[in-house]
Structure formats: C-alpha cells, structure tokens
Amino acid sequence: MIERIGILLILGLCSASACAAAPGYVPDFNPEQFKGPPAGRPNEVLVLGSAHLSALPKTFTPDQLEPLLSRLEAWKPEAIAVEAVSGLQCDFMRRNPARYAESVSMYCPDTAPAEAGTGLDVPAANAEADRILASWPAAPSAADRRRLAAVWLAAGERNSAVVQWLRLPAAERIAADGLSPALVAYLDKRLQGRDESVLVAATLAARLGLERVWAVDDHTADSATPKALEKAAGDAIMKAWDNPYTKARANADAALEANLGKPGAILAMYRSYNARGMALQAYRSDFGAALTEPSPQGFGRGYVGYWETRNLRMVANIRDVLGHAPGQRLLAIVGASHKAYYEAYLYQMHDVQLVDAAVVLR
C-alpha cells in the first residue's frame, strides 16, 4: 500500500510531457565530444538572433543599427549567412507547385527580369556567379560589379546583388552590364527597405569587403494544411500559445520596442534576444507548448516536426558553407526563435566552434 501511494505521488508530481519524454535508447556516440582539434584554424560561428526589422514600429530607423554594426564589424566575419531562401531552392520549389506555390509567392523573388537582361536562368546564373568569383580581380571595375549584381539577381540571390550595389560608388549605380532601369530601381528600393538581410548582413558584408552573403533558409518542409483542417489547426496552435511564457515574451518585446529611438535601444534589443535564458523561455512559450497540445490530429506535433526539420536543414546549409573553405569566421543572422536550434545543432558538429554573441555585443 505504501509503495503504491509513493508511485502515485511521483506520477502526480511528474507532468504528462515529462513522463512521456523518457529517452528510450541512448546512443553512446555524441559528435560534440569529438571536436578535433582541427588541422589549422577552427571554424567559428556567431549566431545572432535578430528581430525581423520590418515588424518594428516606425520609431526604428536604420541609423540606430550603427552600434550593432560596429561590434559585428570588429569581430571580422569572413562569411555571412542570412534567413533567406536560395535561388536554387526557389527554382526547385517552382518546379513543385502543388506543394510549394504559396511558399514561392512568399519567399522567392521574380528572376524573370534579370534572366531577360543576362540570358541566364537560375541554375545557369548560379554557375556563372561561381565562375566569375573564381577569377575575380583584386580591383574589380564598376562594370564587373554591375555584371555580377545582374547575375546574382538572375540567380535569385538578391541580397548578394545588394552587396555588389553597395560596393559601387553611387554615381556608378546605373543601368548597364545586364542591369535594366527596372533592375536598378529594384536594387535602389531594396536599400530603402527594413530588412535585416540588407540593413545588417549586406551592409556589413560591403564594409568588410565581402562579395556576397549566403542564403541558408529552408522551406522544403513547408506543406499546405488541408482547407478543411485549417481552422482547427490554427485554433489548436493559438490555444497552445496562450500561456504565461508567451505573455512574458510579448511584454518584454513591448518594453524593448517602447525605447526605440533612444540611444542604445537597438543594441539593448539585440543583447536581450541573445542573452542566456531566452531560448528556454521561447521553447516554453512556443514549441514546448505546441508539442503537448492535445488535438487528436497532432497539429502541434506536426508544427514542431516542421520547425525541427527547417532548422536542421538551415544548419546543414551553414555547415556546407563552412566545408567549402575550412577555417572561417561565419556570422549567421536569423530570427531570434531560431537561435537556440541553430546553436544546439551546430554544437554537435565536429568542426564548429560557437562564439558567444553576448561577448561580441558588449
């Protein structure tokens, strides 16, 4: 009897999610325990959790990013990865419209105008960009940069095209070398947007003398919810998200955004997003809550499956960049909710050393 009461007490103290989370078989090989040392310089990765700048209130202006940019520039990354879908992945998704038509409309720029100017479709333009950079001169001409910008646009790599645009003197940002007046207007408009891939990543790349940024987002796990289930799925996820951790995150964000326009406010925001403890709060408010929502269809578990798959593939893209030129410092700029997953997955890699963003942002 006493033994039975003890078991009941234990079960009462153990949440359903914790009791269900028994690990089962645990492998005896953990990649993160075998970090080398590598032959030569280590690969260093700094994951910068970011706000999506387009969602900030009008009190945010690009000049407020300068304290952030100066600290990142001092760290001297040699490659910069952004939360954008590559042109090659967009090309793949366009060939599979039954599953990806909505994703293409949301994440993939129209490359037809640049194809008309260069004669290159997306795969050919990506190959041409690689060819150009393989023999890139030490002092490229303005025509070289305009041509590469046009090729990047045809390749579906608009943020890398912006890097070339920023590296040109303003007087050389003209319609020539494959760039039509419409493409020039498009690039000029990109400079005026509120996108961290431009205002932080491309701007920093140009300052550091880099020729491109790397698009590492992945939306191949996207799939449309059947129309008949859309409302039920949305209601289930929203109910899961209605919890004290979500409210605490919203209140913290509101307090940070209320200070925008004041000196140091943007840097304070980035320090907050990249502070220890934020990852667990995000998990509890979002993915952990979704994992335990009780719908018979498992809507929350499907959402978490999508999220983990997307982040794994994004990190695989980063690891691919590092593998092409071992011994790099890579800055990965990504929405703050991705940061913990990036770091957890990257930490498992034999040849990746993580850098503490809090130290860089001091």
Torsion 137-138-144-145 (CA) sign: positive
Confidence of residue 3 (pLDDT cuts 50, 70, 90): very low
Mean of pLDDT over the chain? 93
Q: Which residues contact 76 (CB under 8 A, 6 or more apart)?
A: 208, 329
Residue 2 is predicted with a pLDDT of 36
* Domain encompassing residue 239: 34-86+212-362
Of 195, 215, 222, 336, whose CA–CA distance to 271 is shortest?
A: 336
Residues 161 and 111: their CA atoms lie apart, in Å, by: 12
Of 281, 307, 282, 289, whose CA–CA distance to 238 is shortest?
A: 289
Q: Is residue 171 part of a domain?
A: no
Q: Is residue 319 part of a domain?
A: yes
Flag whether pLDDT at 8 surpasses 50: no
**161-170, 197-206, 222-231: which range is least confident on average?**
222-231
Predicted confidence (pLDDT) per residue in 10-65, tens digit: 333 344 444 456 779 999 999 999 998 889 999 999 999 999 999 999 999 999 99
Name the one residue in this structure whose structure tokens are 């890097």: 163
Q: What is the pTM of this model?
A: 0.92
Confidence of residue 1 (pLDDT cuts 50, 70, 90): very low
Q: Is residue 197 part of a domain?
A: no
User: Considering the chain, what percentage of its residues have pLDDT values greater than 70?
Assistant: 94
Pick left, alpha or beta for residue 24 (phi over 0 → left; psi -120 to 50 → alpha; otherwise beta).
Answer: left
Residue 354 is predicted with a pLDDT of 98
User: Considering the chain, what percentage of its residues have pLDDT values greater than 90?
Assistant: 92
Provide the number of structural domains found in the chain: 1
Residues 338 and 148: their CA atoms lie apart, in Å, by: 31
Q: Is residue 298 part of a domain?
A: yes
Q: Is residue 125 part of a domain?
A: no
Q: Is residue 313 part of a domain?
A: yes
Mapped to the 3 state alphabet, what secondary structure does the chain carry?
CHHHHHHHHHHHHCCHHHHCCCCCCCCCCCHHHCCCCCCCCCCEEEEEEECCHHHCCCCCCHHHHHHHHHHHHHHCCCEEEEEEECHHHHHHHHCCHHHHHHHHHHHCCCCHHHHHHHCCCHHHHHHHHHHHHHCCCCCCCHHHHHHHHHHHHHCCCHHHHHHHHHHCCHHHCCCCCCCCHHHHHHHHHHHHCCCHHHHHHHHHHHHHCCCCCEEEECCCCCCCCCHHHHHHHHHHHHHHHCCHHHHHHHHHHHHHHHCCCCCCHHHHHHHHHCCCCHHHHHHHHCHHHHHCCCCCCCHHHHHHHHHHHHHHHHHHHHHHHHHHCCCCEEEEEEEHHHHHHHHHHHHCCCCCEEECHHHHCC
**What phi and psi, each to the nearest 5 degrees, are found at residue 222?**
-65, 140
Flag whether pLDDT at 155 surpasses 80: yes
Residue 36 is predicted with a pLDDT of 83
Q: Is residue 29 part of a domain?
A: no
Q: Is residue 346 part of a domain?
A: yes
- Averaged pLDDT, 66-88: 98
